[in-house]
Structure 1
Amino acid sequence: MSAAHNTELHPDEDIKMGALSGRLQKIAWPVGILALAATVILGATHGDHFHRFYYSVLIGLCYCLSVAVGALFFVIIQPLTRSQWSPVVRRIAEILTTTFWPVAALLAACIIIPMLAGSAGPYHHWVHPAPDDHILHNKHAWLNVPFFAARIGFYFAVWIGMSRYFFKKSREQDQSGDPAISERLRVASGPAIIVFALTVCFGAFDLLMSLDPHWFSTMFGVYYFAGSAVAIFSTLALIGMYLQRSGKLARSITTEHYHDIGKLMFAFVFFWSYVAFSQFMLIWYANLPEETVWFQPRMFTSWSSVSYLLLFGHFVFPFLFLLSRWTKRLRAPLAFFAVWLMFIHYVDIFWLAMPEHTPEGASFHLMDLTAVVGVAFVCIGWAARAAAKVNLIPVKDPKLAISLGFENY
């Protein structure tokens, strides 16, 4: 790394969202609300008492939540590692962490509140266990609706609290230029990353793994985190390119930054694959009925096609092409793989949850699409609203000059 070029913010650099925020919101809010309304209508007319609706919405929420979780990880890890390349893209991640709010609100409105009102939601296995199901009766102290709702509320409170703290301090530094703020964030990032790891793991256990309460994997939380990391680096690449095409940050984000984002995409594609294989291999080798039951519909029904798609689409295909230096330095192939990984990440979340609803075989419904589109566009509208109030780059970060001149060797 060197800082030989462009170590000062160009005086003509556009670092404000301006009218772009309004244009995004005019598209995102109506599309999001209409898509969510369509999801409710499709759920009501599906004839299964909203059962498919709950799964569709949960998948859309967990997908968008993974981007916010990945963004929070990125924001926390930068001061912890004293990163010097990242300030020019860190503000984008800080803005994305604000989307915990709409995800929490939609999760509460669509799933948690109905469960508290008496609905089983997608968790009918443990909300209404069979009288002779001794395993679930023994897990009742953990798997009961009031405690479940309290835990979900706690996770979101922690994530929102941490994201607000780091974003607030970053904005304060924009005003004061105080380098001591960077040190305070570095000190806070140590305990924050521990709390982050615990809450993300338990959040994944509760929201997704408990769909099949008889099955468990201690690696499941790490698996969800790995997918979240892939999602955030893909999202950072796409948002950076979109902003530059719109005339923002045209000189600040360079090929060198995209190269590093691409390297992180590649690294976490491999990490996701490592965790996925390790989880599968240990269960396959032990061959215990209480563990293999989760993989049976995913291997011996038409869901196996989705399993193979994940094998080749989430590992082999991106791994082989992102291995190249030039794939990470050229905008078009990097954008393609960022879009591909965002798509295959949704397939992954879908594969984690939907076989619990249709274990007899793979199934896709229009409401699955409208649900994820609705949640995603509401989050886009929320993020655009937050971005309108701040600079798109931390203009007084002590390491900004190094970041602007960053070069890969």
Structure 2
Amino acid sequence: MPELPQAEWTRRPELARLVAALGADKVRWVGGAVRDTLLGAEVRDIDAATPIEPRAVVTLLEEAGIRTIPTGIDHGTVTAILDGGNVEITTLRKDVETDGRRATVAFATEWRDDAARRDFTINALYADPATLEVFDYFGGVADLEAHHVRFIGDARQRIREDYLRILRYYRFQARFGSELDAEAEDACAELASGLKGLSRERVGWELQNLLALPDPAATVARMRERGVLPVVLPEAGKHEVEALEQVIDAERTAGLQPDPIRRLAALIPAVPSLAETVAARLRLSRSQRDRLACAAARSPDDAQEPRALAYRSGVACAVDRLLLSGVDPAPLIGWEPPDLPLKGGEIVGRGVSAGPEVARILQAVERQWVAEGFPPRARVTELLDAELAARG
């Protein structure tokens, strides 16, 4: 068996305490941390597996002075609170019954049983915390080396256990894959309608995870060709998929990080009401909904005064609209909209009665101030003088 390369996280003292509390022969690192370490990639989250049942895990850890949270204790998962980053510890499981949305599981004692219920071979890799020996039950190491994303066992069976695995397949394909897996592709296309039965939050979250990858354009195009994308995002036609590719190139040219909401905006027509509908369907947060609708309101006029646009709509939305329109957002990078150096009290002090007229004057001065490119205070005073004179 191969060994896990030495990595900073494998030498964390608090992880050694956790292993000692559970027993060196009763815990293994599993999943993404093992996979990404083998790839030499950054490890963000650490998961562990154990044959010890969850309530006993809590007892053992608390006796060792390690605080826990019963994250999903009924399903076997406990979170250990550690200084260097929390660790999720899940009792070995095997599926008893599945309905495509959730599984009924039973705790298991065999590592292979636990590996067999995972989705892809590259996610079913375990490592001994003491020796760093890697346990690979389904050829995941070879698949990693070949950049091959492959379901464990029969792809259709794995998908029927949880239809979200269709979207997860494409996300992992975009991140780790090179050549497409024909069996997986056919299974995803055949069973795509099962995505309709999933919670909207799960679908929205998985779409965002996919779109947050460095360059998911080819994968998204493939999802459309195979009939998967229309099930979860029917608004994304050929033109919109091409727009996604263009905005990814524009982000790269501008030196900006991938942004899933901006990329989602590329995948739907530029119609604010439609953006609101998509945001509601995918259960996006209020701020994400607002940003998606703002991006959908883009127009050719945006390029004329980008800082005026940013002042009115916010820098994030303005950058989105420029990139989506193929316009260089350089004037907005690092720029913060200034505050209008004028308050209503000053207008009242000039003899205007408090009320709607003050607001109208303030707005008129602000419009001119923005149109002139945010001049300094002295010019604002001149603008106020001119506005008051014009109003008698």
Larger radius of gyration: 2
TM-score over 0.5 (shorter chain): no
**Greater helix share, structure number:** 1
**Greater strand share, structure number:** 2
Using CA pairs below 8 Å that are at least 6 residues apart, which structure has the higher relative contact order? 1
**Normalised by the size of structure 1, how large is the TM-score?**
0.28
